[in-house]
Structure 1
Amino acid sequence: MPKKNTPIPIITLPPDLDVGILFFRTSIKSLKGLVKEVQQAHRDNWHLFTLQIAGTTVMEVDFQMNIIKSHAAAYMHPSQVHRVVAFKDADFYSLIIDNKSLKPEYLKMLEELSPVKPLLLDKKTFALLNDIASICIKIFNNKESKLRASLLKDSCHTFIAAILSQYLAQSNPTDTSTRYDIIAKAFKSALEENFTRIKSPKEYAKGLNISTPYLNECVKHTTGRSVSYQIQQRIILEAERLLYHSNKSVKEIAHELGYDDHSYFIRLFSRVAGMTPLAFRNKNRE
């Protein structure tokens, strides 16, 4: 059993980077020294975009198995707990970028989209992304260029935009967002930022300058579920992450998630997850 109060590990960017960006091509051979680290459940303090060129990468992301095959793109949000389960002849490009280096408009879109699954690309889109990735890596490796930082940011944002456009096309193919969609996205963004502090649908509605019934109508129309359901699911997901990947006590987890009364938190978790927090921890650590 791990030491008490072990937190979920966070892998951080090297401190000596002049720009908060890493772009590299990786094969299973070059990953030998890092395999152990990435096979342990962790979070990153960056956004991760990958383009799978060949082979297969299997990842567990928030208790779901993702199989990333060749000619696929994938995005990982910093909040997601994940680990690599297996590589098979894997060859892929990776873009790592921190919040400060990411365009605010792209950051907003990614917050609204997340979480997303790996996306299989058609030949034309894959070829385009592969070409952009080749340019990005050349710029990244050209340390002597006087405009390297600007060139790198611009080229990497082109890569991000190309991936984003595919996810956006998949989530909203006709590009005709309704008022319901816009409000539901705004709620999701507010929820992600405030779920440990704000638990009331009324408070979220107030923050969006709309009535609680109207917020509920918009969210229900878009997701099929109520605002209260979405709030509870986000809290329980974070609780499950902490129960499984850390050794914090249930009381500590309840406090971290904004509950002073840990007995109430236990009742909430048991009702939503169908078992007590300790039963969930014991079941998933067997």
Structure 2
Amino acid sequence: MRKKNKSIPLNTMTDDFGGDISVERLAVNDLWNSGAVSYNGFEEAEQSHRHDRHSFFLLETGTVHLEIDFQKYKMTAPSVIYIHPDQVHRTTDFENVTVSSWAINNENLNPEYLQLLESITPAKPLELSNETFSILSETVSLFIKFSGRKSDQLYQSLLKDICNALIALVASQYLEHSKSTDKLSRFEIVNKAFREMLERNYSSIKSPAAYAQKLNISTPYLNECVKEVTGYPVTYHIQQRVILEAKRLLYYSDKSVKEISAELGYDDYPYFSRLFTKVTGTPALIFRKKNLD
């Protein structure tokens, strides 16, 4: 049975060399058959959790099965994935794995890269060419070496710079597989700006008019742009984002529906309950009960 928690577990990425940046490389043959579950890092990975920072995983060998926000993914080496601090995830299985990971908090992350990462959230596993994988793997090895040089005068700056360089390499790969900004239509640009703003404000702003005002456009025009690109109006996306967070909290924590309603900005608890049922087709308590096992 799934462990219950008052809130969604928040795992701290390893940072033995201090600060708010981390890097490590791990290898294991088989999580379930080698006894590696006893190793704390893998035991935590098995349980649904969030990370306290922006985290990146470079799969160098083997296969990993992941569950991220109710979606299942299979990663095969060589590949990479970015996981946003908001995303709830766990490792369900892996074999013959070598994985490198690094993480960084907002304060140390280049603001330009932060904006790029927000625009590609949620990110799916990305397969890498051999050349790109080689560059990333070599950079991680260099990062690990630098992390041991604690006596260097500019130690923290060095870690920050190389971590951001790695992030830029990964972000550029995601951008290469998406439509470039200079090729976006006006409708797509407005939709992109709205989705980024929604991610930052979903718990406090629920009105399409409020988002339109922040974007300095009319509400009808915002709706026109978003619907043209996605097929759905602004209200749909607001509700979907709020309900995703509600699902996370219902599934991974034991907060009451009333507590979740308040946390997501709904003082009217009955309204929130009706909204959850409308969007998911299932009452909140039944959704939780169905997912207990």
After TM superposition, the score normalised by the length of structure 2 is 0.91
CA 1:111/1:21 → structure 2, altered by over 3 Å: closer, same or farther?
same
Q: Which digits, 9 at most, give the CA deviation of each residue in 1:135-191, with x for residues without a partner? A: 212112222322222222222211111110111111215851232222222211211
Q: CA deviation at 1:33?
A: 2.5
Which residue does the alignment assign to 2:222? Answer: 215
Of 145, 149, 173, which residue of structure 2 is paired with 1:142?
A: 149
CA 1:52/1:175 → structure 2, altered by over 3 Å: closer, same or farther?
farther
SS in 2 for 1:34: helix
SS in 1 for 2:259: helix
Q: Which digits, 9 at most, give the CA deviation of each residue in 1:3-47, with x for residues without a partner? A: 987111111356885431111111127882322222111111101
Which residue does the alignment assign to 1:248? Answer: 255
1:202 maps onto 2:209 in alignment: yes
1:103 maps onto 2:113 in alignment: no
1:23 maps onto 2:23 in alignment: yes
After TM superposition, the score normalised by the length of structure 1 is 0.93
CA 1:166/1:2 → structure 2, altered by over 3 Å: closer, same or farther?
closer
**Counterparts of 1:193 and 1:167 in 2: how far apart (Å)?**
21
Specify every segment of 5 or more residues in structure 1 that has no aligned partner in the other structure, as ranges.
Answer: none
Of 154, 159, 162, which residue of structure 2 is paired with 1:152?
A: 159
SS in 2 for 1:214: helix
CA 1:4/1:88 → structure 2, altered by over 3 Å: closer, same or farther?
closer
SS in 1 for 2:59: strand
**Counterparts of 1:15 and 1:71 in 2: how far apart (Å)?**
25
Which residue does the alignment assign to 2:10? Answer: 10
**Counterparts of 1:104 and 1:171 in 2: how far apart (Å)?**
20
Which residue does the alignment assign to 1:90? Answer: 97
Conserved? CA contact 2:17–2:150, under 8 Å: no
Identity, in percent, stands at 48
CA 1:5/1:22 → structure 2, altered by over 3 Å: closer, same or farther?
closer
SS in 1 for 2:211: helix
Which residue does the alignment assign to 1:167? Answer: 174
Conserved? CA contact 1:52–1:92, under 8 Å: yes
Farther-moved stretch of structure 1 (52-61 vs 172-181): 172-181
Specify every segment of 5 or more residues in structure 2 that has no aligned partner in the other structure, as ranges.
Answer: 30-35
